[in-house]
Structure 1
Amino acid sequence: KSIGKRLVELKQSGYHVWIDTLEGQEPQQRLSINDFAFGFTAPWQVNYFSQAQFISLDATHDVSKYKDGVLYTMVIRDTVAGRGVPITYLFTNDLSSRPLLGWFRSLSSIGLNPQRFTIDHSLPEDNAIIQVWPSCSIQHCIWHVMRAWMQNVQSKDGKACERWNVSYQPEVFHAMQTNNYVESWHNQLKSCYLKRKRTHRLDVLVEVLVEEVAFDIKQEVSRLSVNVGRMGALERRFHVNEIKAEKEKSLPSPSTIIRLLDEEYLVESFANNTNNTAYNVSYF
């Protein structure tokens, strides 16, 4: 009852709320039985939909008192903060594609139209994505694919793969497409907000996401947007490039140094050289 009441309050506050129901069943009835599925998206998260072209999707366990309950999260990379930002949540203990399909359709109806999903190897997720966004590509997390592939190779050939030439060994941590953003986010949620406890009621978990998590993320993005606080990875790279460019400008150009003799050079002045001042420099 408490979670149903909280979802009603969220909807009245402008949240997009979806509750899975069976035919002829009311949402409150669905939330009071053993099988449940509901998702929600805050207005500030909906604002991210227009830039949500590449999405990481993953599920995590052990976030509530329900042993078989999972939390699905969609995460995108915020270009200002340089970190993953969750844009919608789904809670369910039904691990089939049914709740995913309903959740995806509800998100599609309010403007979510991604170009690519990065997921772990999950048949229910694959099926639901294909049905709702048929033109969307699906990238299976390369780290998980490579791990499964290497385990298969090692089960047949032992450690023979370790004797491969270096140029043929898999570089799984370079320029790969993984679910690192969403997995990192789930780890932060469990360790920083839930304190690794598994006894939380669903309404308590929702409250953590709606109040604490939302406040922290919005504060960080706002702070970083005015260059206060740590830089994101992309912004840090731009800043490093700017420093390099300024350093290059201060170095003498080869065209400003002319060799006259073996031990004599003509050097143009590097400081405010409006009069084309040059110096003869000799060394012994």
Structure 2
Amino acid sequence: MADVRRIHKGIEAESIRLHRDDGISMLRWVEKLRETGSVLAFKSVNSPPPEDSGLAADTFVLCIQTDRQREIFKKYGAPFAAIDGTHNTTQYKNINLYTILVRDRYGHGIPVAWMLASSGTQETLDFYLRTFRQANPGISPKWLMTDCDQAQINALRAQFPDATILLCWWHVLHAWQQHFVTTAFPDLWQLLKQWIRISDESGFEAHWAKIRQEAPQSFIEYLELYWLPRREMWSAMHRKNRDIFEKNDTNMLLEAYHHVLKGMFLEHKRNRRVDNLIYTLITHVLPHYYLRLSRQEHGFEGDDLELQERRAAALKALSILRESISSTGEAVFSVASQSTPGTRYSVNLDDYTCSCPAYPLVSFCKHIAAVQAYFPEDLPEALFGVEIPHCTNGDRPSDAAQATQQPLPAVSSPVLAPADHQNMQKSTALIQDLQRLMENLAAALQDVLGDTAGLLPPAMKIAPNQHSWTETAQTMIGQIKRTKRKITDAYAGGESSGKKAKSDAKKPRLSGISSVSQAQQQPAPGDAKSTSNHVPLHPQSAQPASLPPHAAAPPPAAAYPGATWSWTPAVHGYHFSSAPTTVSTRAVRTSTPHNPLIMYPQPTTQPQPSAVHGRDLTGPWAASRTPSQDPPSR
């Protein structure tokens, strides 16, 4: 095994780890990428920042874009692009991997540029996007997708002012549900998920009025302060008239790419070295996406998004009846909507347009297909008189052999001349001398640089990706949670809602209880016997036939001789109505936490302490409590 590991390390030294020190190896990788024009910008920790870059003095930045990535961005980057970052790709502190991604004709994401940076500030992202824009002149995406990171939003606005910035719907809803508990306000949660997808102004305002009725005050203020002023970034009202290659409402393409990077190529292990990450991106990630793109372009993956949508529209047109179409002018038709009664769409065959919302996707829809099927156009006869050239027997190549053929070259002798052997020996000696020179230069460079801590940010202590999990959990991300609550909501991201909620947004409002109680306390019309709100009852004799599961039992009768209690159905509990002279009516905490509205009296006299389970217990329960009735600790 030692020999196998030695061979493996030798292969790594030639292709991945160009030096045992990660900083020197990273420098060699940068030089290799610069030779192919793949480095957009590079700044180590100890090097001065470029002029007018806005970078901090200790920021590490490495921007990469290969020639093939530049070609892909030129081909697919105009309609749509997205940006996002991910952490834990190296062992170095605060280093994140930022990726710019475009969408091909099949709806798949392709990374077109990377940035490794030790800072995620607006200045760093602005430097990255400015460098990227300068390397790709003349191409500005029409739509840019990002999450709710304000630094990314500001940098995108500065470098692509003509683009429309969209916020990922998943991240928007995830941010909203952190400010209230979704299980306490289920109707509000359903309204919010509908509200973000409403595309007309009247429906948007009507839904907002319903949200104000259902939401707690703190959440209403949160929406009015942070989200309503920038509704153009998340509301469907501002996402109209997009074609099928521009239509994208989430950042899931980038999230899927991060999953492939960390799961498939980094093998779910915590990578440490920068050189290994660069090697993985260049030699594994890019070929993976290039192969899929090549299969798509050569027809091995079926139809692209546009052709799929056109085929689907042609099939849907078969369900439109002839009676649903009427002619309103020359080459102009009115088609009844199949989904919205009372709505009609205008189809113009001369302009080849339709007023339905599905037309902008591929400049085609089922209404145009139906009109063309029922009202075919009359083409001029001159178009059918054109003679189409075709192949005849005279166009075929002659079967006769060519008269003149080039003679075959003479077969050379496989035996090399002595002069050739001498030249090979000289070349081998020269190669050996160059190898020794490179080794000497590497050793001298290491002596000069010494400690390479100034090239990269400080490394974090990370446990090895081996042995049992219990040995590495403490130094990686902490101990495993033995009992983990499953969060099944699609927008939760594995987290419980309401983490940032204020007190009024954590529990449902109990406004209905007071109105019900008041209604039950009022006597019925014409009922002269109903003269009081509560009928006096004894706690032991007046208990209802069946108590609700969460109802609290009354205190023992021995504790309050002469006390009178009444059953209150509104709160499912006993209410103290009269007491002997030795008992006050001050409210105390009930032993059952389900009903804080139950009132228990407190004796005015000091009772004798009673020892239960080795503790001194006082209060109305002390006289008759048994060890099994010991209330839970507060």
Q: What is the TM-score with the length of structure 2 in the denominator?
A: 0.34
Amino acid at match of 1:148: A
Say yes or no: does 1:234 pair with 2:305. Answer: yes
Q: Distance in 2 between matches of 1:192 and 1:128?
A: 31
Q: Distance in 1 between matches of 2:134 and 2:195?
A: 44
Q: Is the 8 A contact 1:58 1:119 kept in 2?
A: yes
Say yes or no: does 1:146 pair with 2:169. Answer: no
User: What is the deviation of 1:160?
Assistant: 4.0
Give the corresponding residue for 1:194: 266
Q: Distance in 2 between matches of 1:214 and 1:176?
A: 23
Aligned 1:36-185 pairs, distance under 5 A:
36-50=60-74, 51-53=76-78, 54-79=80-105, 81-110=106-135, 111=137, 112-154=139-181, 158-161=185-188, 168=194, 177-185=249-257
Runs of 4+ that moved beyond 4 A: 21-24, 162-166, 168-172, 242-245
Amino acid at match of 1:98: E
1:101-129 C-alpha deviation (Å, 9 max, x unpaired): 11111111122422221101112112212
Give the corresponding residue for 2:37: 14
Q: What is the TM-score with the length of structure 1 in the denominator?
A: 0.72
Structure 2 spans left out of the alignment, 5+ residues:
1-23, 51-56, 199-235, 237-246, 323-634
Amino acid at match of 1:97: Q
Amino acid at match of 2:130: R
Which of 283, 291, 296 is 1:219 aligned to? 291
1:116-169 C-alpha deviation (Å, 9 max, x unpaired): 211011121122122222222211111111222233354796334257599x56
User: What is the deviation of 1:98?
Assistant: 2.2
Residue 170 to residue 26, structure 1, CA distance change in 2 (3 Å): closer
Residue 243 to residue 90, structure 1, CA distance change in 2 (3 Å): same
Q: Secondary structure at the match of 2:179?
A: helix
Which of 5, 28, 50 is 1:5 aligned to? 28
Structure with more of its chain in helix, by fraction: 1
Structure 1 spans left out of the alignment, 5+ residues:
28-32, 254-284
How many pairs align? 239
1:20-73 C-alpha deviation (Å, 9 max, x unpaired): 47997289xxxxx97411110010110123231211111111111224221100
Structure with more of its chain in strand, by fraction: 1
Q: Percent identity?
A: 23
User: What is the deviation of 1:225?
Assistant: 1.2
User: What is the deviation of 1:86?
Assistant: 0.4
Report 1 or 2 for greater relative contact order, CA contacts < 8 Å, sequence distance ≥ 6: 1
1:233-275 C-alpha deviation (Å, 9 max, x unpaired): 6167258549949xx7xxxx9xxxxxxxxxxxxxxxxxxxxxx
Which one has a bigger Cα radius of gyration? 2
Q: Distance in 1 between matches of 2:127 and 2:116?
A: 12
Q: Distance in 1 between matches of 2:188 and 2:103?
A: 35
Q: Distance in 1 between matches of 2:260 and 2:94?
A: 21
User: What is the deviation of 1:213?
Assistant: 1.3
Amino acid at match of 1:19: F
Give the corresponding residue for 2:15: none
